[in-house]
Structure 1
Amino acid sequence: MYHTWMRSFSPAPVHHRLGLVCLGVGLQYGALPAVGPRTLDHHTAVVISAGSGWLRTPDGRTRTVTAPALLWLAPDIPHHYGAAPGRGWDESFVDFTGPAVAAYTELGCIEPDRPLVPLTDTADARAAIARITRAARSGNPLLEVETSAAVHELLIALRRARADDTPGTDPVLDALARDAFLPLSVAEHAARHGMTPAELRAAVRRGAGCSPKDYLLGIRLHRAKELLTATELPVAAVARRVGYDDPAYFSRLFTRRVGTAPVRFRERQGRPLPDSWSDRVPHPEKSPMIGSRHSARSA
């Protein structure tokens, strides 16, 4: 006994320019029949939120699937899977494609070479899928836009829910973030953590989906933007605070990556109100409260 609900969508070329498009969504539970062997021409994320089953990979191995788990079905790669006899499992799936797939794959949010991924939970992923099912109502003029946005959310939720890589607990990334503003090369960063440069590159690629150089640059530029926006420090001082002794090099790097020079970036942020501006960068987990002027002054 099993229950199934599915919808298929046909996005237009203009919708593909959103980066990701949803081709279909489904909710199923119970002793579902096996799927495959088959191949697809698009990506599918199959979220198993309860129960168990099996997955047969292209190398002929049969692996046990225990919820919560994710099955990645990649284009042109054969797959064959099914729920266990008896109670079966609870499954939801989303079919998607689009030019942004390549970037999400490079960033580690889509793993075509890893068909079975254990998850910590499926709450956020199921919430994103629920937004797709709600958008599928009859006559919705924004169906393709809403479902596209939800696919982006789904990929982020699945990345965060990976059981083997809980964000905020990766010691390599934590160590790099702590030392990001020191004037060190990638080789020197690796040596500080008892790793070879190749080992560091592999660890950062696995944890952040990019190279150590790009990971460090992202942290530095993010901090530079905060300082340019929230302080009146000269550009040279901002450069030194984020690890660059050469202000000209920092300005060229900032301009190339951000698309505008540091001085121009600061000008575009606007001028602060005299009685409501602070030159202290707030902690990201302690956001300032918005209240009345009287309450702010009396605090």
Structure 2
Amino acid sequence: MYHTWMRYFTPSPVHHRLGLVCLGVGLQHGTLPTVGPRTLDHHVAVVVSAGSGWYLGADGRRTTVTAPALLWLTPGTPHHYGADPGTGWDEAFVDFTGPATTTYTELGYIEPDRPVVPLSDAAPARAAIGRIARAARPGNPLLEVETGAAVHELLVALRRARADTNADGDPVLAALARDAFQPLSVAEHAARHGMTAAELRTAVRRAAGCSPKDYLLTVRLGRAKELLAATELPVAAVARRVGYDDPAYFSRLFTRRVGTAPIRFREQQGRSVHGGWSTTVPDPEHPPTILPRSV
């Protein structure tokens, strides 16, 4: 005995140009029929939030699936899976496609080589899928954009919920961010963690989807933007604050990555940011509000 609800969508070519579109959503539970063997031309994320079952990949290996878990069904990959006939399982699935999937794969959010992913918690992913299901109401004029945006949210939720991810963030990334402004090479950063440079590159690539050098550059340029926008420090002083002794090199690097020179960036922010800056991070539970004027 099982229960199932599903909806399928056909986004227009214009919506496909957004980069990511939702093709369908479903909620099912019970002793569901076996799926496959089959091969799809798009991506599907199957979130199993209760129960157990199995997955059989193209290599012929059978993997036990125990909730909470994620099944990645990727284009061109033969697959075959099903819920345990004795216990069944509770699943939610989302079909999606678009050119953005290539980038999400490169960043490690989608893992074609890891079709069964243990999760620490399925609730955030189920919440994102619930938003897609609610958007599927008849006559919703925002259907394609709303569901596409929720797929982005789903991919982030699944990345955060991987059982091998620390809920407080990756300690290696936190340490790199802390030491980013020091004049250290990648090998020296690695040595601080008792790692080889190759091990650090693997860890950062898995956690952030980029090399240690790119991650450090992102942290440095983010801080440089804050200093340029919120202070009157000369560019040379900003460069030193973020770890560059050569201001000319910093300016070339900033211009190449940001697309505008540091001085120009400061001018743009000076014209567009009103009300001043605060160094206090707002509490999400009590965000800043605009108080009414007294009469």
Give the Å deviation of 1:9. Answer: 1.0
2:180 partner SS: coil
**Mapping of 1:222-261 within 5 angstroms?**
222-261=222-261
Residues 227 and 281, structure 1, Cα contact 8 Å, conserved in 2: no
Residues 282 and 288, structure 1, Cα contact 8 Å, conserved in 2: no
Could you tell me which residue of structure 1 aligns to residue 14 of structure 2? 14
1:25 partner SS: strand
Q: Please identify, of 256-265 and 185-194, the stretch whose mean Cα deviation from structure 2 is larger.
A: 185-194
Could you tell me which residue of structure 2 aligns to residue 64 of structure 1? 64
Q: Deviations over 1:2-38 (max 9, x none)?
A: 0111111111111111110111111101110111111
Give the Å deviation of 1:171. Answer: 2.6
Could you tell me which residue of structure 2 aligns to residue 126 of structure 1? 126
The one of 279, 282, 288 aligned to 2:280 = 282
Q: Deviations over 1:28-66 (max 9, x none)?
A: 011101111111111100001111111112222211111
Could you tell me which residue of structure 2 aligns to residue 102 of structure 1? 102
> Whole-Å Cα distance in 2 between the matches of residues 293 and 140 of structure 1?
35
Q: 1:285 to 1:194 in 2, by over 3 A?
A: farther
Across the two proteins, how many residue pairs are aligned to each other?
Answer: 292
Q: Please identify, of 134-143 and 90-99, the stretch whose mean Cα deviation from structure 2 is larger.
A: 134-143
Could you tell me which residue of structure 1 aligns to residue 113 of structure 2? 113
Residues 119 and 161, structure 2, Cα contact 8 Å, conserved in 1: yes
Residues 170 and 207, structure 1, Cα contact 8 Å, conserved in 2: yes
Query: Any unmatched runs of 5+ in structure 1?
Result: none
**Mapping of 1:1-299 within 5 angstroms?**
1-270=1-270, 277-278=276-277, 281-283=279-281, 289-290=288-289, 292=291
Give the Å deviation of 1:155. Answer: 0.4
Residues 132 and 146, structure 2, Cα contact 8 Å, conserved in 1: yes
- TM-score normalised by the chain length of structure 1: 0.91
Give the Å deviation of 1:283. Answer: 4.2
- TM-score normalised by the chain length of structure 2: 0.92
1:269 partner SS: helix
Give the Å deviation of 1:233. Answer: 1.3
Q: Please identify, of 286-295 and 222-231, the stretch whose mean Cα deviation from structure 2 is larger.
A: 286-295
Give the Å deviation of 1:257. Answer: 1.2
Q: Deviations over 1:233-260 (max 9, x none)?
A: 1111111111111111111111111111
> Whole-Å Cα distance in 1 between the matches of residues 82 and 13 of structure 2?
34
Question: Alignment identity in percent?
Answer: 77
Q: Deviations over 1:108-146 (max 9, x none)?
A: 111111001111111211111111111111122221111
CA RMSD in angstroms, aligned pairs only: 2.1
Give the Å deviation of 1:294. Answer: 9.3
Q: Deviations over 1:135-173 (max 9, x none)?
A: 111122221111111111110110111111125342322
Residues 23 and 97, structure 2, Cα contact 8 Å, conserved in 1: yes
Code of the residue aligned with 1:234 in structure 2: it is P
Q: Deviations over 1:218-238 (max 9, x none)?
A: 111111111112222111111
Query: Any unmatched runs of 5+ in structure 2?
Result: none
> Whole-Å Cα distance in 2 between the matches of residues 269 and 143 of structure 1?
35
